[in-house]
Amino acid sequence: MSLFYRTLLRPAVFLQDSERAHSRVLAVLSKMSRTRFSLSMLGALYRSPDLPVNVFDIDFPNPIGVAAGMDKNGEAVPSWQSIGYGFCEIGGVTLHEQPGNPKPRMFRINKEKALINRMGFNNIGANALQEQLQFWKDKGLWPDSPVGINLGKSKVTPLEEAPSDYSGSIKILWNHADFFVINVSSPNTPGLRDLQESKNLDSIIKNCCQINKQKSVEKGTSEKPLLVKIAPELGDGFLEDIVKLVKKYKLSGIVATNTTIQRPKTKHKSSEKVYQEKGGLSGAPLKDQSTEMIRKIFKITNGKVPIIGVGGILTADDAWEKIKAGASILQLYTGLVFEGPDIAKSIVKGLKRRIESEGFESIAEAVGIEA
C-alpha cells in the first residue's frame, strides 16, 4: 500500500496546492468517520498492532500519534485510530475563531520531504470546536485512543492577555481532552514565541493550572495533564527556565518540537526557491534538530519529565532514534503527507521488531538509553 501511494497516489495529490490537498484528504476522512462500517474498513487496511505505553497516567494503544495542525478543527477524530494512530492532538485551537494568514501559506519541498507553513492558527475557535467534538460523542463515534488538544493564542488578543486566552479555551474544551498542550512556539503568530520567556510563560501556565483544577473539582475527577510545546531553536538558558516552570507547576510533559524558522543547505535549486518562503519548516530537515532537543530535555530533567517527540519522523528508524534520545511517545505530520496513510502501521510494526530484537519488553525500557 505504501508503494502504491508513493508511485500513483502521491504524484496526483502533489499536483494540487498543498493546503487544498490537505483539506480534501481531511474531507474524505471526515466522511469515513461518520459510520462504524467505514471506520472498520479503514481499520482493516491500516490499523496498527498493539504496542501499549502508559504516559501521564494515560494508556496509549501505541506510541505513534497525529501531531497538531493535521486536524485543526476535529473533522476526522474517529478516523485517526482506524488508520493506525495511538492518539491524536487536535488544533491548534484559539479562543476566538480566526482565518489565519493570507493564502498561499503551505508549501512542499518534495526533494527534501519537507513542508513550510505559515498558517497562523486558522481554526473555528474553541466554542465551535467544542460543538464538533461533542457531535462525535453524541454519535457514539469517539475513539478509544486518547485525544489531546493543542492551544494557541488568538491573534486579536494582546500578549499581556494571553493567560486568559489560553485558560479560556481550556475551560470550554475541558470535557473533551485527555490532555492539553500549551503552544507558545508557533512561528506564525506575531510575538507568540516571546511567550516562551519565563516571565510570560509563568502567568500562562498558572492560569491554565487554575482552570484545570477548577474544572476537575466541578466534575469530581482528576486534573487533565498539561504540557508545553517548545521551539527547536530554543537556547539552553530558555530551555532551563521552561523546565523550572514545568517542575514548579508540576506539568505532565514537554512536546519537542514545533517547526523551525531555520533553513538547511540544499543542492536543489527548486528546494532553495521554496526555502525562501516565510514560515515554519517541518519534515526530514528538522529530524536531527528536534532529536537533539529531546536529548537535552531528557538530560536536564534526568528523564523525569515525559517528552512527546515530533519532527522529521518518516520511518521506524527515525522513531527509534527519538525514543532512544528520550521521547516516550511520538507524533507525525509531514511523514503522513510524504509516506501515505499506512505510515503509522509501518512505524509501529518496525518498533515492535526493534524491541524484540534488542531484548526489551516495552517501549518504556528503551526511552533515553542513548540520551
Grid coordinates given for 235? 537556547
3-state secondary structure of 193: helix
Residue type, 51: L
From the candidates 169, 186, 290, 328, give the one annotated as an active-site residue: 186
CA dihedral of 108, 109, 110, 111, whole degrees rounded to 10: 180
Peptide bond connecting 92 to the previous residue in cis, omega within 30 degrees of 0? yes
In 3D space, the residue among 55, 28, 134, 29 whose CA is nearest the CA of residue 309 turns out to be 55
Asked whether the beta carbons of 309 and 286 are under 8 A apart, the reply is no
Closest residue by Cα to residue 350 from 66, 9, 84: 84
* DSSP labels, 127-157: HHHHHHHHHHHHTT---SS-EEEEE---TTS
Is residue 186 annotated as part of the catalytic site, yes or no? yes
Task: Write the DSSP symbol of residue 159.
Answer: G
Cβ atoms within 10 Å of 369's Cβ, excluding its own: 12
d(CA 129, CA 176): 10
Q: Which residues are catalytic?
A: 186
